[in-house]
Amino acid sequence: MSIIKLHDKYFKSYISDEQIQEAIKSLVKQVYEDCKDETPIFLGILNGCFMFVADFVRKYNGDCEVSFVKLASYQGTNSTGKIKQLVGVNEDLEGRTVVILEDIIDTGNTLQEIYNIFKDKKLKQLKIATLFFKPDVFKKALHIDYVGISIPDKFIVGYGLDYDGLGRNFADIYQLTSKPTMTNIVLFGPPGAGKGTQATFLKEKYGLVHISTGDVFRYNIKNETELGILARTFMDGGDLVPDDVTIKMLKTEIEKNPDANGFIFDGFPRTESQAKALDQYLLDKGEAISGMVALEVPEDLLVQRILNRGKTSERPDDQDEAKIRNRFNEYKTKTAVLKEYYQNQNKYFGVNGVGDINEITKRLSNVFDKL
Ligand code: IMP
Ligand code: MG
């Protein structure tokens, strides 16, 4: 659940893949009831329908044929100008049952064209199935046989549908929303990458509030807040603090800063379920994670850095190479899922963390400026 940006517009999670599949199942059942005694031709209207048709026919267990067409405009010779034609009809459709599979019916203009085109094709019957339907906009007296999900008059993307070319690849449906007002960054980096140093600098530069999970934990435990005491009971028992306790602590921190321009999250989220909870929490406020910015530093270099630090610091875990490597392995296995999680939302930004501190700040700023 999240807000994504396509070109200049923002879209929020709206209909999940699971809900879509449920709707398709129900459509398939209805169509099958009506067509099981014959071999229908399922005709997808490209481009938007490609995912819908693929999922629909996979769930359809009777004999059927599948084909795709495109509606293209051409300049007519008559005075009305644009006329639509179907491109790519290879089958002889005479006497056949054709089921049009549409991704979305909005004004019904496209549907009107379809009815016109098939009027004189001598079909046995023409049926219309649409996955999405906007009843508030549809003003035509045209019949629609099967409707998957009716939605309000708001622009959607995903599952084959696009906004100016983008968004077709998402498995879920997203709905147009207003621009989030905050910049919320998840700052990531392996141990020793210099996250703390950079966060201090960046929060000043961008007027953001830096929330370090470690600090939040220490604060709650030291001050014996309700959540601190609760966290303690798990830690004393040698258990990890459950996600919901951590999330509650983080929310309390966020709520302490109602006027913030945004937040830098440091050490959070650590798990996919934390990331999802954070997304949902922000979504309820009309906000979102703007990006995960990760400092990328080769492991060998970091091990060397930490070992050097270990020569002067008293930390025994900074002196043992095997232990350091183990910390990295943990980091890699735990964060790999998060990297993928944000990558799937097109929100992962890797930044080269090798070099001079100021140089790295500059690189990070280049990313922050875009978010
Ligand atoms: P019509 O208004 O019913 O003719 O729909 C025309 C076409 O507009 C559809 O086939 C879609 O390609 C596109 N369309 C309508 N509403 C949406 C939407 O909410 N998201 C993406 N495309 C849409
Ligand atoms: Mg369409």
Q: Which residues form the pocket of ligand 1, taking CB atoms under 6 Å from any ligand atom?
A: 48, 104-111, 155-157, 161
**Sequence-distant (≥ 6) Cβ neighbours of residue 93 within 8 angstroms:** 41, 118, 121, 122, 123
Pocket test residue of 161, 162, 175 for ligand 1, highest count of atoms within 8 A of CB: 161
Q: What's the rounded mean pLDDT across residues 96-108? A: 96
Reading the block at residue 79, the tokens are: 């005075």
Reading the block at residue 263, the tokens are: 């937040």
174, 235 Cβ separation under 8 angstroms: no
Choosing from 36, 58, 119, 309, the catalytic residue is 309
The answer to whether 195 is a known catalytic residue is yes
pLDDT tens digits, residue range 148-165? Answer: 999 999 999 999 999 999
Q: What's the rounded mean pLDDT across residues 64-84? A: 72
Alpha-carbon separation of residue 336 from 222, 275, 339, 342 (angstroms)? 32, 13, 5, 10
Q: How does DSSP classify residue 343?
A: H
| Amino acid symbol at 370 | K
Residue 80 pLDDT level (bands cut at 50, 70, 90): low
High-pLDDT (> 90) share of the chain, %: 70
Alpha-carbon separation of residue 96 from 59, 123, 288 (angstroms)? 21, 5, 49
Choosing from 96, 127, 195, 203, the catalytic residue is 195
Q: What's the rounded mean pLDDT across residues 188-201? A: 88
64, 40 Cβ separation under 8 angstroms: yes
**Sequence-distant (≥ 6) Cβ neighbours of residue 298 within 8 angstroms:** 354
| Cβ-based neighbour number of residue 327 at 10 Å | 17
Instruction: Give residue 64's pLDDT.
Output: 97
Instruction: Give residue 79's pLDDT.
Output: 46
Q: Please tell me the distance from the alpha carbon of residue 134 to that of residue 138, in angstroms, as a whole number.
A: 6
The answer to whether 270 is a known catalytic residue is yes
pLDDT tens digits, residue range 337-361? Answer: 999 999 988 899 999 999 999 999 9
Residue 75 pLDDT level (bands cut at 50, 70, 90): low
Q: What's the rounded mean pLDDT across residues 56-61? A: 98
Residue 137 pLDDT level (bands cut at 50, 70, 90): very high
Residue 239 pLDDT level (bands cut at 50, 70, 90): confident
pLDDT at 34 exceeding the cut of 80: yes
Q: Please tell me the distance from the alpha carbon of residue 247 to that of residue 268, in angstroms, as a whole number.
A: 9
DSSP E strands, 222-337: 262-266, 291-296
183, 371 Cβ separation under 8 angstroms: yes
Q: What is the mean pLDDT of the chain?
A: 91
Distance from residue 341's CA to the centre of ligand 1 (Å) = 29
Annotate 234-271 with DSSP letters as a single string: HHHTTPPPPHHHHHHHHHHHHHT-TT-SEEEEES---S
pLDDT at 76 exceeding the cut of 80: no
- Cα-trace Rg, the chain: 27
Instruction: Give residue 161's pLDDT.
Output: 97
The answer to whether 327 is a known catalytic residue is yes
